[in-house]
Chain A
Amino acid sequence: MTDTSIEKKGKYYERFDAYSRFLHVLVITSFILLAITGMIIKFSGSGVFQTLSNMMGGYAVTGFIHRFAAIVTFIYFGLHIGYLIRKIKKKNSKFTSLLHGENSLVPNKKDLTELIATMKWFVGKGPRPQYGRWTYWEKFDYWAVFWGIAVIGSSGLILWFPEFFTGLGLPGSFINIATIIHSDEALLAVGFIFTYHFFNTHFRPDKFPMDTVIFTGKVHIDELKEDRPREYEIIMQDPELQKKLGDAPPVFLRRAARIFGFTALTTGVILIILIIYSMIFLYQ
C-alpha cells in the first residue's frame, strides 16, 4: 500500500457526485452561520456571545445572517428534493425505489443488525460489521437534517412571521412554544453535528483528523475496502459502478477541501466549547 502515483491511477472511487458535494457545502455553510447567529440569541446573557455579536456587527447583522442562512437552508432542501426526483426520473423507476436497496437512505432491518453487531464489536465480542454504502449512523445524520429542517424550519418561520401566522388563527402562545422548540431543537442539532457527527466522520482514530471525501468526492479503493467491505464487494461485482473508479482528485481540490473542512471543523468545535461554557457558567 505504498503511495506511489502509479498506484493511485484508477484506484479512486467516486462516492459523491459534484451536485451532492455542492449541496453539502451549502449545508455546512448555512448550518454554521445559523448555529453561530442562533446561539448568540440563545445565550444572549453570556458575555462571550455578546462579544461575538458585536464582532459580527450587532444583533441586526446577526439577525440578517440568520434569516439569510435560513433561506439557503430552504434552498438546499428544495434542491435535494429536486435531485431525488431527477434521479428517479433518470432511471425511470418509481418513487419506492428510493426506499429499498443498498443505495437507499431509509433505515431497514440490516441497519438494526449492524447496530447490534457494531455494539458487539465495540465490546470486543465480534468482528467489525461489513458496512455498506450507508452506515446506520450516516442514515441517522441524513434524517436528522430532514427532521431538523422540518421542525426548526417551521418553528423558525413562525418566529419570523408571527403576525402572519397568528393572523391565520394560531394562538399567540404558540410563538412561545415555537421559541422553545426552535431553540432546543437547534441546540440538539448543533450539539449533535459538532460532536458526534464530527467524531463519527472525522475525528475517529481511523479517519483523524478529517475525511475529505465529502469535498473531493473520491475515496481510495483500499480505504473503501477496509471501511465498507460490503460496498466494495458490490462495486467489484458491478462493472457499471466500476466506471466510477478514476484518478486521485486534483491537488487543488484536495487542498481546498482540507482548508474548508478544517475551517468548518474548528468553527464547530469552538462553538460547542462556547456553548458548554455558557451553559455551565451562566445557566446554572
Chain B
Amino acid sequence: MKKYIPLLFTSIILLSSVNAQSKDDLVCLDCHGDKTFTTTRNGKKVSLFVNGKSFAGSVHEEISCTSCHSDVDPNNLPHSEKLSKVVCATCHETPALHYDRSLHAQAFKKGLSLAPTCISCHTKHEILSSKNPKSRTYVMNIPALCGQCHKEGTPVSGLVNPEERKVLSDYSESIHGEGLFKRGLIVTAVCTSCHTSHDILPHTNPASTINRNNITKTCTQCHRQIEQVHQKVIRGALWEKEPNKIPVCIDCHAPHKVRKVFYDDSFPDDKCMKCHGQKDLTKVINGKAVSLYVDLAQFKKSAHTNNSCIKCHTNISNSKNPVCLNSGKVDCSICHTTQVDDYNISLHGQKHAAGDKTAPYCSDCHTTHNVQSKKDISSPTFARNVPELCGKCHREGKNIATALDESKLGIVANYRESIHGKGLLQSGLMVTATCVNCHSSHRELPKKDPRSTINPNNIAATCAQCHLGVYEDFKNSIHSPNISKTDKKLPVCNDCHLSHEINRVDLSDFKTSIINQCGKCHKEVTETYFDTFHGKVSKLGSFRAARCSDCHGAHNILPVENPASKLSRGKIVETCKKCHPNSNKKFVGYLTHATHHNREKYPYLFYTFWFMVILLTGTFAFFGIHTLLWFPRALKENRRHKELEKKVQEENATKKIAEEYNRED
C-alpha cells in the first residue's frame, strides 16, 4: 500500500493544476466566449469570439490560453488590446523551421497577403490532428486545402506558370487523385506527400523534395523498389546514387498528371514520325540548317529497333509545343551507364565536356538512329572498321593528328603494316587487336594517366587480354615488377614490341631493332656484344646470328643464377645447341659479351690485345720509317739517273755528229 502513496500525490497535484488551467481559461472565455465580442482593426470589425467547445475538442485542449497567448496575465484583466502574435515555434520547432524557409514563408515575409501562415491551414483554436478525418490537414482533405489557393482561377494560380494552374484538377484525374477520391486510398500521394507539409520549396531549390535530384527519393517513399519495374531502363544502383544519369520519375510521369498508362503509349513513335518522317524537316543551329529527318526504315534495321523514340529522347513534355522542343542531346547513359561513365573519364569525354568541338561524342562513332551492334559487319564499330573509324581523326592531315606530337604521326599507316593490322586487314582475323583493344573503347586515356590501359603499369595486363600465355611468362621474369624490386624503369611490352609498328618477331626488322631495345637499359653488355662475332654479324644485317633473346629468352628472362634460366649452368649447352648443334661444356665458355678493354674481368683478352697492338705498331713504325727515308732517297736517285741518261744521249749525239763530220772529211 505504501508504494502507492507517491502516485496518489502526483495525481492530486496534476488534477489540481488542470483545474487551475481550466479555471484560467474560463476567465478568458468570460469575454471571448461571447459571440458578439468584437474589436475594430484597421477600420474593420473583427470577431474576438473563441468557441470554447471547439477548443476543448482541439489538439490543444490540454494547454491553457496563456500557453500560446503568453503576454496575457489572467490576474491583471482586461489585458492590452494589442497582443503579440502567437508563436507556434515555441512548441512546434521543426515544422516552424521548415515553414520559415518555405515558399509560403518567403511570400509572407515579402508581405504578400495571399501567403499562408500556420493558421491558414491549421486554423486557430479548433486545430485538429491530421489523423482526424475532420481535420483540414487530414490526407483526404489536403487537395482541397491546398486547392483553396492553388486551384484554377484563384489569385495564386494566376501567379504560377500556365501549365501549373490546373494542378488540382490534373491531380484529381491523376492516378494519385483517382486513388484518393475514387478508391479512398489514404496511402495515395497527396500534395504534401511530394511537396511536404511545411518545407515547401520551389523545384529549382536543390533542397526541395521535388528537385530533379531528389524527386526519385520522394517518389520511392511509396514506390519502393520501383527500379525493378523499370529495370530495362535503369540500373538499380543508379536510381538513388546518380539520379541525374537517368530520367527521373517526373520525366515520364508528369507531376500532377501521373497516369496509369505506359509512357511509350502516351508518346507513340507515330507521333514523332509525323514530323520527323518528312525529309525536308530542318532546324537552324548556328545559322546552319540541320536535317531532323529520321529514316524509319533504316532505324528499324538498327540495334535500337525495339526502342521507341521516347526511350532515348526523354526530355519530352506535353507542355511543350512541339513536345520535343529543345529536348537536347540524347543521354545514352540512360541505358549504357558503364560505357558513358568510362567515356566521361576518357580524354574524349573530358575534351567534349570542356567544349572541344573536335572531341567525339557517342554518336560520332556509333551514329545516331542507324546505330549498329559492333558485331554487325556494316557497323563503324565492327572490328575491321575500327582503324578507319579512329583514323577519321587520328590520321595525318587531320586536325587531331597534327595536334599530337610528331612521333605519333602515321599511327593508322603504321598500324596497317603492323602484325595486328595485317592480321585484321589482310588475314581477316577477328581476334586481332584493333585500336580499341589496347586503348579501350570508351575509356581511352593518354599513357601518362595511371588509369590508362596503355599506362606502363597497365600495358602488360592490356596485352594479356589476348597474350595471356606470354604474360604468364613475363610475370615471373626478371623484368616483372613482381620479381625485380627496383627504382629503375622496368621494360613493358611496348618497349620492345613497339605499339603501332608492332612487327612479327621472326622478321629481320624486329630482330635488328631488339638489340637497340635491350641496349636502352643494358648499355654495356650491348656494346660488348657488338665486339663479338654474333654482334658483328648482326650489324651486317644477319638475323640468323644470335641476338639477346636467342640466348636470354624473350618474356621468360631469368637471372643466370636461376636454374630455370636458359643460361643457367644446366641449360646453357642446350640453349647454344639451337644454333650450334655440337655445342659442348667447353664451347659454352665462349665469352659472348667479352671486351678486351677490361683487364680485371678478361685479363687474357686484355693482354692478347695489347700484345697485338704492340706487334702492329712496332711493325708499322719500323717500316714507316723505312719508307719515309727511302722515298726521298729514291726520288733523288731517280733524278740523278735521268740526268745521267740525258748526258749519255747528248754525248752519243755529239759523237754521231763528230763521226759524220769525220766521214765527210
Q: Does B530 make an interface contact (CB < 8 A)?
A: yes
Beyond A176-B605, A206-B634, list 20 extra A-B contacts (CB 8 Å): A41-B540, A45-B530, A50-B540, A60-B542, A159-B533, A162-B587, A166-B584, A173-B591, A173-B594, A179-B533, A180-B596, A180-B608, A184-B612, A184-B616, A191-B616, A191-B620, A192-B620, A204-B630, A205-B637, A206-B638
Q: Does B49 make an interface contact (CB < 8 A)?
A: no
User: Are A172 and B589 in contact (CB-based, < 8 A)?
Assistant: yes
User: Are A205 and B616 in contact (CB-based, < 8 A)?
Assistant: no
Q: Does A101 make an interface contact (CB < 8 A)?
A: no
**Residue among A53, A60, A119, A187 making CB contact with B629, cutoff 8 Å:** A119
Quote the shortest CB–CB distance from A49 to chain B (angstroms).
8
User: Are A58 and B540 in contact (CB-based, < 8 A)?
Assistant: yes
Specify the main secondary structure of chain B where it touches its partner.
helix
Beyond A166-B584, A196-B627, A204-B631, is A176–B541 a contact (Cβ under 8 Å)?
Answer: no
User: Are A188 and B615 in contact (CB-based, < 8 A)?
Assistant: yes
Q: Which of A26-52 contact B (CB under 8 A)?
A: 40-42, 44-45, 50
Residue of A nearest to B612 (CB): A184
User: Are B580 and A163 in contact (CB-based, < 8 A)?
Assistant: yes
Please measure, in the bound complex, the distance between the C-alpha atom of A9 and the C-alpha atom of B537, giving whole angstroms: 56
Q: Within 8 Å CB of A42, what residues of B?
A: 536
In the complex, the 4 A-B pairs of residues with the closest C-beta atoms, listed nearest first: A172-B589, A184-B612, A163-B582, A122-B629
Q: Which of B203-235 contact A (CB under 8 A)?
A: none
Q: Does B110 make an interface contact (CB < 8 A)?
A: no
Residue of B nearest to A140 (CB): B623
Q: Does A239 make an interface contact (CB < 8 A)?
A: no
Identify 23 residue pairs between A and B in the complex whose beta-carbon atoms are under 8 Å apart, listed by A's number: A40-B540, A44-B539, A45-B539, A119-B629, A163-B583, A166-B587, A167-B584, A167-B586, A173-B604, A176-B594, A179-B533, A184-B612, A185-B612, A187-B616, A188-B612, A188-B615, A188-B616, A188-B619, A188-B620, A192-B623, A195-B623, A204-B634, A205-B635
Quote the shortest CB–CB distance from B569 to chain A (angstroms).
13
Q: Within 8 Å CB of A180, what residues of B?
A: 596, 605, 608-609, 612
Q: Does B37 make an interface contact (CB < 8 A)?
A: no
Q: Within 8 Å CB of B591, what residues of A?
A: 172-173, 176
Please measure, in the bound complex, the distance between the C-alpha atom of A176 and the C-alpha atom of B536, giving whole angstroms: 13
Q: Within 8 Å CB of A200, what residues of B?
A: 627, 630
User: Are B620 and A162 in contact (CB-based, < 8 A)?
Assistant: no
Q: Within 8 Å CB of A187, what residues of B?
A: 616
Q: Within 8 Å CB of B583, what residues of A?
A: 163
Q: Within 8 Å CB of B620, what residues of A?
A: 188, 191-192
Q: Within 8 Å CB of A58, what residues of B?
A: 540-542
User: Are A124 and B633 in contact (CB-based, < 8 A)?
Assistant: yes
**Residue among B536, B605, B631, B637 making CB contact with A41, cutoff 8 Å:** B536
Quote the shortest CB–CB distance from A109 to chain B (angstroms).
19
Q: Within 8 Å CB of B590, what residues of A?
A: 162, 166, 172-173, 175-176
**Residue among A40, A119, A205 making CB contact with B631, cutoff 8 Å:** A205
Q: Within 8 Å CB of B619, what residues of A?
A: 188, 192
Q: Does A6 make an interface contact (CB < 8 A)?
A: no
Please measure, in the bound complex, the distance between the C-alpha atom of A126 and the C-alpha atom of B487, giving whole angstroms: 75
Q: Does B263 make an interface contact (CB < 8 A)?
A: no
Interface residues in chain B, defined as those with a beta carbon under 8 Å from any beta carbon in chain A = 530, 532-533, 535-537, 539-542, 544, 580-584, 586-591, 594, 596, 602, 604-605, 608-609, 612-613, 615-616, 619-620, 623, 626-627, 629-631, 633-635, 637-638, 641, 645, 648
0 or 1 for each of A237-277: is its CB under 8 Å from B? (1 = yes): 00000000000000000000000000000000000000000
Specify the main secondary structure of chain A where it touches its partner.
helix
Q: Does A134 make an interface contact (CB < 8 A)?
A: no
Q: Within 8 Å CB of B535, what residues of A?
A: 44
Quote the shortest CB–CB distance from B590 to chain A (angstroms).
4
Residue of A nearest to B616 (CB): A188
Q: Within 8 Å CB of B584, what residues of A?
A: 163, 166-167
Q: Within 8 Å CB of A205, what residues of B?
A: 631, 634-635, 637-638
**Residue among B541, B580, B608, B626 making CB contact with A162, cutoff 8 Å:** B580
Q: Within 8 Å CB of B537, what residues of A?
A: 41, 44, 59, 63
Please measure, in the bound complex, the distance between the C-alpha atom of A147 and the C-alpha atom of B593, giving whole angstroms: 29
0 or 1 for each of A170-182: is its CB under 8 Å from B? (1 = yes): 1111011101110
Please measure, in the bound complex, the distance between the C-alpha atom of A167 and the C-alpha atom of B645, giving whole angstroms: 67
Q: Within 8 Å CB of A175, what residues of B?
A: 590
Q: Within 8 Å CB of B586, what residues of A?
A: 166-167, 169-172
Please measure, in the bound complex, the distance between the C-alpha atom of A169 and the C-alpha atom of B585, giving whole angstroms: 9
Q: Within 8 Å CB of A121, what residues of B?
A: 633
Residue of A nearest to B633 (CB): A122
Residue of B nearest to A204 (CB): B634
Q: Within 8 Å CB of A60, what residues of B?
A: 542, 544
Q: Within 8 Å CB of A16, what residues of B?
A: none
Q: Does A199 make an interface contact (CB < 8 A)?
A: yes
Q: Does A280 make an interface contact (CB < 8 A)?
A: no
User: Are B623 and A59 in contact (CB-based, < 8 A)?
Assistant: no
Residue of B nearest to A168 (CB): B586
Q: Within 8 Å CB of B609, what residues of A?
A: 180, 184
Residue of B nearest to A187 (CB): B616
Q: Does A54 make an interface contact (CB < 8 A)?
A: yes
Quote the shortest CB–CB distance from A136 to chain B (angstroms).
10
Beyond A166-B584, A167-B586, A172-B589, is A181–B612 a contact (Cβ under 8 Å)?
Answer: yes
Quote the shortest CB–CB distance from B370 to chain A (angstroms).
54
Residue of A nearest to B581 (CB): A163
Beyond A59-B542, A163-B587, is A177–B616 a contact (Cβ under 8 Å)?
Answer: no
Quote the shortest CB–CB distance from B16 to chain A (angstroms).
117
Q: Does A128 make an interface contact (CB < 8 A)?
A: yes
Residue of A nearest to B645 (CB): A1
Q: Within 8 Å CB of B635, what residues of A?
A: 205
Residue of B nearest to A58 (CB): B541
Please measure, in the bound complex, the distance between the C-alpha atom of A62 and the C-alpha atom of B584, giving whole angstroms: 27
Please measure, in the bound complex, the distance between the C-alpha atom of A41 and the C-alpha atom of B535, giving whole angstroms: 10
Quote the shortest CB–CB distance from B597 to chain A (angstroms).
11
User: Are A199 and B541 in contact (CB-based, < 8 A)?
Assistant: no
Residue of A nearest to B627 (CB): A199
Q: Within 8 Å CB of B532, what residues of A?
A: 176, 179
Quote the shortest CB–CB distance from B318 to chain A (angstroms).
80
**Residue among A50, A188, A192 making CB contact with B541, cutoff 8 Å:** A50
Please measure, in the bound complex, the distance between the C-alpha atom of A206 and the C-alpha atom of B590, giving whole angstroms: 50
Please measure, in the bound complex, the distance between the C-alpha atom of A176 and the C-alpha atom of B604, giving whole angstroms: 9
User: Are B645 and A59 in contact (CB-based, < 8 A)?
Assistant: no
Quote the shortest CB–CB distance from B201 to chain A (angstroms).
81
Q: Within 8 Å CB of B608, what residues of A?
A: 177, 180-181
Quote the shortest CB–CB distance from B262 to chain A (angstroms).
77
Quote the shortest CB–CB distance from A145 to chain B (angstroms).
14
User: Are A59 and B596 in contact (CB-based, < 8 A)?
Assistant: no
Residue of A nearest to B637 (CB): A206
Q: Within 8 Å CB of A1, what residues of B?
A: 645, 648
Residue of A nearest to B588 (CB): A172
Residue of A nearest to B544 (CB): A60
Q: Within 8 Å CB of B533, what residues of A?
A: 41, 159, 179
Q: Within 8 Å CB of B604, what residues of A?
A: 173, 176-177
Most chain B beta-carbon neighbours within 10 Å: one of A128, A164, A171, A180:
A180
